[in-house]
Amino acid sequence: MSNFEHHIEVHNLSTWFGKKHILKDITCYFKDNTITAIMGPSGCGKSTLLRSLNRLNDLVPSFRHTGIVLFRGEDIYGPGFSVYDLRTHIGMVFQKPNPFPMSVRDNITYGPKLHGTKDEDELEKIVETSLKKAALWDEVKDDLDHPAPNLSGGQQQRLCIARALSVDPPVLLMDEPVSALDPISATKIEELIVELKNDYTIILVTHNVQQAFRVSDQSAFLYLGELVEFDETKRILEAPTDSRTEAFITGRIG
């Protein structure tokens, strides 16, 4: 375990929305080229933890936090740390597919263009590689100028993955990326996530134990804002040390 450079470390993170205490003293880390699943029942703070990592919680004005989140050793909430740089290094895929109301091509080039890539050939290359990585290229290569919202739900979600990959972030956050999709599309995206592990550090929020078992290397189990267990997924699921984890795995809570 020690031969990994931790891309993201969370130390004693507590968060509040207004007076509501969401995360309670979370400490964990996310290793390179692994998939970490954040599990737990609804409302336990899974998404809040994920959104703390790319500072998307900052959009909510009542958000407060204590503790430290380190990205490559730097405090992302520290003064002088650019949130825009952070987000180009940490991509995100959302629960519901949310392609921009533009063409397939423009969805992919949006990010690179923002960060100054103007060369048409280079953009074309980014479109192709991103879509290939997201296993969507073969399905849309002839319709790159078609509106993205016309794609099917599963295709839209893979387009969103491609869009996140377009700026080549080392870390990918995924917030229940398949829960809004049909089983076939979900399976496709799960396979894709496992494949992406070779090049990316992936942090996956899920409330589906089977999914966590299928795709993740290590898991964090959250319950009511507390980090109950954090270890290799196999160990947690085969021999949970906490009764709450066991209750969740066996389906008694959640």
* Binds other proteins (CB under 8 A): choice among 68, 102, 123, 194: 102
* Binds other proteins (CB under 8 A): choice among 26, 126, 140, 160: 160
Interface stretch with other proteins, choices 126-134, 162-170, 176-184, 219-227 (CB under 8 A): 162-170
β-strand 35-39 against 20-30: which pairing, if any?
A: unpaired
Interface stretch with other proteins, choices 32-40, 96-104, 132-140, 236-244 (CB under 8 A): 96-104
* Footprint of other proteins on 46-65 (CB under 8 A): 54, 56, 59, 61
- Compute the least distance from the CB of residue 59 to other proteins, in Å: 7
- Compute the least distance from the CB of residue 90 to other proteins, in Å: 8
Which residues make up the interface to other proteins (CB under 8 A)? 54, 56, 59, 61, 84-88, 91-92, 94, 96, 98, 100-103, 110-111, 114-115, 147, 149, 160, 163-164, 166-167
